Amino acid sequence: MKADELRGLQAPLKQRYKDQPDAAVVTLKAQGTLDSDKLVCKVETGRALVEAGLHPATGGPGSFACSGDMLLEALVACAGVTLKAVATALELRVTGGSVRAEGDLDFRGTLGVAKDAPVGFRDIRLTFDLEGDLSEEQKATLAKLTERYCVVYQTLRQPPPVDVAFNVAPPTALA
């Protein structure tokens, strides 16, 4: 995609959001179904059904997706798309490359083994290995704007409040 194509796609959206700020607020949704037999949650991704289960470090078999991996995958996907959009908009020549995320977990926290061990990632590293012809100034601009506009990165850096609700219905009767 060329910069003018991207601008053409985004210009009417930007104008609409300037004129009608409420139109820019979109609620994204994810849903999962708890399996009655297996220790998994089946998550609809829009492209496939993913069965997420326990990581082997918590007793899982290793045959299901790990939600921690899925979080890192979401970061990689968002950061990669954001980088490409920024590079396209600025007409920076990024011809290829890769994005990877790594995160350190201390599983003592989630298993309740040590109260001082955090539950969740304690460190996350996001790395871009790019191919292209970029000056140091262009690379710095690309990095700054990718961080600024990457939704998942910004959400991890400045987490929003998360409301949790537990609704319980009686089990359905078997016929």
Which two tokens mark 42? 């089946």
Query: What does the H/E/C string look like for the chain?
Result: CCHHHHHHHHHHHHHHHHHCHHHHCCCCCCCEEECCCCCEEEEECCCCEEEEECCHHHCCCCCCECHHHHHHHHHHHHHHHHHHHHHHHCCCEEEEEEEEEEEEECHHHHCCCCCCCCCCEEEEEEEEEEEEECCHHHHHHHHHHHHHHCHHHHHHHCCCCCCCCCCCCCCCCCC
CATH superfamily ID and name for 66-159? K homology (KH) domain (3.30.300.20)
Could you read off the pLDDT of 70-111 as tens digits, one per residue? 999 999 999 999 999 999 999 999 999 999 999 999 999 999
Task: Give the start-to-end residue ranges of the domains of the chain.
Answer: 29-65, 66-159
- pLDDT over 60 (residue 175): no
Q: Which residues does residue 125 pair with via DSSP β-bridges, in sequence order?
A: 102
* 78 and 151 Cβ atoms separated by less than 8 Å: yes
Could you read off the pLDDT of 35-73 as tens digits, one per residue? 777 888 889 887 888 999 999 999 999 899 999 999 999
Mean pLDDT of the chain: 91
CA–CA dist 142, 134 (Å, integer): 9
Span 109-134, average pLDDT: 93
Span 160-171, average pLDDT: 92
Q: What pLDDT score does 34 carry?
A: 81
Pick the more confident residue, 103 or 30. Answer: 103
Nearest to 45 by CA among 77, 15, 22, 23: 77
Cβ-Cβ contacts under 8 Å for 114 (sequence gap 6 or more): 106, 108
Report the predicted TM-score, pTM, of the whole model to 2 decimal places. 0.87
Confidence class of residue 26 from pLDDT cuts 50, 70 and 90?
A: confident
Q: What pLDDT score does 37 carry?
A: 79
Q: What pLDDT score does 174 carry?
A: 64
Pick the more confident residue, 27 or 141. Answer: 141
- pLDDT over 70 (residue 22): yes
